[in-house]
Structure 1
Amino acid sequence: MTSELDLIRPDWPAPDRVRAASTTRLGGVSQPPWHSLNLGTHVRDNPQYVTENRARLASELSLESAAFGWLSQVHGTDLVTSPVDGIPEADASTTTQAGQVCAILTADCLPVLLCDRAGTQVAAAHAGWRGLCAGILEQVVASFTAPSAEIIAWLGPAIGPAHFEVGQEVRDAFMAVDARAAEAFSVSGARPGHFMADIYSLARQRLEKAGVSAVYGGDLCTVSDPQRFYSYRRDGQTGRMATLVWLEP
């Protein structure tokens, strides 16, 4: 088991004071089936291991543990402005304060980071299919003081289109909001009445409709890389990775 954190640094043209990272499962102390850098407190892992893992992450990023704005994610559309007291039920956070970290936990759902080109505001969103369909990304874009044309986004590791099989009801839900969503679904060859969904394409569509055309990332599949990523759909009981964004002073 490696002791080094394997961090993904988003490849996007963010301003210098915008910092971002996405963790993998490597570099922590958790034991199977959460091995090893599990950052989720809600997945029945040993709390002491999670505390150590979070401390390692904070140290790696030269941040204080108190800077991380962890959320209790519920697949909804609520957004909070960081910093907040406690651990609010929300699926997105935003901040204009330097040193405050917007953090999202995932293990197949899509993490989305956003910032404005001036480097004055950042945000992170947990975009599972329910939240994505209900408008979580539109909520985040609307929270920016900058016009949407001045916002850029990065799509982090998530379940890829070759593995995200969904029922007719999921396709219908997206189609009811935007008929273009049909482009992100293909008929599943495995089960009649099911479709393969491209959550990256769906997110790009929703961001574009909200006025954000500068979208990066969207090429890391959690299911197909068990050595590097947690995947709830693949493994069931598993850990959680974090996708983070913050402003430097």
Structure 2
Amino acid sequence: MPPDPAPAWDAADLLEGWPALPGVGAAMTDRRGGASTGPWSGFNLGDHVGDAPAAVAANRDALQRHLGVRPVWLRQVHGRDVLRLAHADAEAGAPAPLADAAVTAERGLACAILVADCLPVLFADVHGRAVGAAHAGWRGLAGGVLEATVQALCGLTGGTASQLRAWLGPCIGPAAFEVGEDVLQAFGAAGDGSSAGRFTPQGRRDGRARWTADLAGLAHDRLRACGVHDVSACGRCTVQDPVQGGLRFFSFRRDGVTGRMAALVWRR
């Protein structure tokens, strides 16, 4: 008998710091529960990582029933394109749109971001008029995906960035995220860039200089720079945060072949 695909997670602790806003719902999954097996074992929601399509479909159906809202899944490519969601995007058989962020003022649609070390960022207008979500790995973050999402949300509401609330979900933590000079240069931190304090030297590996990077801290800096001042963070590391009986999160950096979790936000 296959495993019960129902989610076994309780989002309350992962959503610590998410602002209570009128008419706005949010969720963050982990790997517990679900129908997937093997390296994707648990509640894998990614359909592009080699898992059995039937298992992914069962997990996604279980999530939709659990939340009572229709997620729109994106084809994420570490870019900065933002999709404005409409109900047609959630229809059965609709192709996954190519984007790394989504915003909507429609009710009943969830902006959904898949992650396994990259940073998920959820947004909501303080008055509950619109919501958004962004996939912020280091490439998308350096490329301006958060700024593009803020601009799209302000275009929807007619408001300002200061009227937005942002939440930074679990991601690879500073102790686990080792990077090279290409990442420093992408953030302008190789000289006297404002992001320099988010990188810690770690010596040399294979003749190359290495650093550890604070991905959530870099995102926080960029949000504040574009006018979003109310930013909260989950603070969990996807590589190293365990639960009783196993590891809580999917982590590409740790495991290579693995599943994907989802961060979602919607208007009720």
Same fold judged by TM-score > 0.5? yes
- Distance of aligned partners of 1:190 and 1:14 in 2 relative to their CA distance in 1, 3 Å threshold: farther
Q: 1:232 aligns with which of 252, 256, 263?
A: 252
Residue 246 of structure 1 pairs with residue 252 of structure 2: no
SS at match of 1:200: helix
Deviations 1:44-76 (A, max 9, x none): 10000001011111121123xxx2110000000
Which residue type is aligned with residue 184 of structure 1?
Answer: R
Structure-2 residue corresponding to 1:182: 196
User: Aligned residues, how many?
Assistant: 245
Which residue type is aligned with residue 71 of structure 1?
Answer: L
Which residue type is aligned with residue 20 of structure 2?
Answer: A
Map 1:91-240 to 2 at 5 A: 91-144=100-153, 145=157, 146-175=159-188, 179-189=193-203, 191=205, 193-225=209-241, 227-240=247-260
Q: Which blocks of at least 5 consecutive residues in structure 1 are unaligned?
A: none
RMSD between aligned alpha carbons? 1.7
**Cα distance in 2 for residues equivalent to 1:4 and 1:89:** 27
Which residue type is aligned with residue 252 of structure 2?
Answer: Y
Q: 2:39 aligns with which of 33, 39, 48?
A: 33
**Cα distance in 1 for residues equivalent to 2:220 and 2:67:** 29
Which residue type is aligned with residue 145 of structure 2?
Answer: I
**Cα distance in 1 for residues equivalent to 2:122 and 2:135:** 9
Q: Indicate the percent of aligned positions where both proteins have the same amino acid.
A: 48
Q: Per-residue deviation at 1:240? A: 0.2
Map 1:63-102 to 2 at 5 A: 63=69, 67-83=70-86, 84=89, 85-102=94-111
Map 1:25-64 to 2 at 5 A: 25-63=31-69
Q: Which blocks of at least 5 consecutive residues in structure 2 are unaligned?
A: none
Task: State the TM-score, normalized to the length of structure 1.
Answer: 0.94
Map 1:6-21 to 2 at 5 A: 6-9=9-12, 10=15, 11-21=17-27
Structure-2 residue corresponding to 1:5: 8
Q: Per-residue deviation at 1:135? A: 0.2
Moved more, 34-43 or 209-218: 209-218
Task: State the TM-score, normalized to the length of structure 2.
Answer: 0.87
Which residue type is aligned with residue 231 of structure 2?
Answer: V
**Cα distance in 1 for residues equivalent to 2:170 and 2:133:** 13
